[in-house]
Amino acid sequence: MKIVILDGNTVNPGDLSWQPLEDLADVVVYERTREEEIVERCKGAEIVLTNKVVLDATTLNMLPRLQYIGVLATGYNVVDLEVASRQNIVVTNIPSYSTDSVAQMVWAHILNITNRVDHYARENRKGRWTESPDFCYFDHNLTELSGKRIGIVGLGNTGMATALIATAFGMNVLAFTSKDEDELPTGIRKVPLSELLSESDIVSLHCPLTDSTHHLINHETLALMKPSAILINTGRGPLVDDQAVAEALHNGTIAAYGADVVTTEPPKASNPLLSAPYCYLTPHIAWATKEARTRLIDICARNVKAWLDGEPINQVNA
């Protein structure tokens, strides 16, 4: 049995071990794979693992030996599930491996924005504190979170983890969710999206990307928000209209944007968010703590082992 990993570098750039998979089969790891290299690299493998390399209908039709595709992520839109099912190829994903890491990044962005951590660290490297006539200095308002409202759009695993951290800060939590009110923990109140946007001091996006949530944050919805509001996106880039958010930051429609994702990744140099004021971008790394990546590999190996044993788990196609 042969396993081919098409783009192993992002999951494991060399600081982790592929041993859990190597214990199951012969493993070949490619750091990255271009579209024109996919078929040649996969043609001798029964098992293919991919993070972002697309396995579309044309490619799958050229791989008659392929029996299993493991997506090294939670989202699995990189695989044509209909064709995979028709060819009796099992497709699995890695659910819930990075919940705590993503929630942590949400709060890293929020605390950076409210406490201006990066700003003051940069100023102090320039010598500003050493030149201060007082024991401290501050040139931006600092914000206490206790008593403020945070709106969570989507109460799945990461949304709920983010909400529970908010309650520990003493915040009031509003949620736009499909869950019933009586399912929600104490301190979390279900509200319509328009109320959440207009009442929240911070809005954090955790909903899946669907046709109905594509550009959920746009000119119209941004106009509902407070000028002092902070928007956070660690979900999917296309949940927001990049141009609309950039314009909102320039116009003072909202106060700040912290995001770990953009619509096209890596972003084009022309992406307006890269030059927008009070915009803080991290390069899609919320999922990438060493602990989360270790869990990802371990879950992947369990997925493969379960399939080899004839009892697949975390299967996403029929």
Residues assigned a catalytic role: 236, 265, 284
Distances (CA, A) of 22 to 48, 51, 91, 213: 13, 18, 20, 39
Q: Taking Cα atoms as reference points, which of 191, 174, 254, 256 lies closest to residue 219? A: 254
The beta-strand segments (E) located in 30-182 are: 47-50, 68-71, 90-92, 149-153, 172-176
Distance CA 186, CA 95 (A): 26
User: Do the Cβ atoms of 307 and 66 come closer than 8 Å?
Assistant: no
User: Do the Cβ atoms of 172 and 150 come closer than 8 Å?
Assistant: yes
Distances (CA, A) of 306 to 7, 215, 291: 23, 38, 23
Distance CA 240, CA 97 (A): 24
Phi/psi of residue 50, nearest 5 degrees? -140, 145
- Helix (H) or strand (E) run with residue 195 in it: helix 193-199
Phi/psi of residue 65, nearest 5 degrees? -85, -15
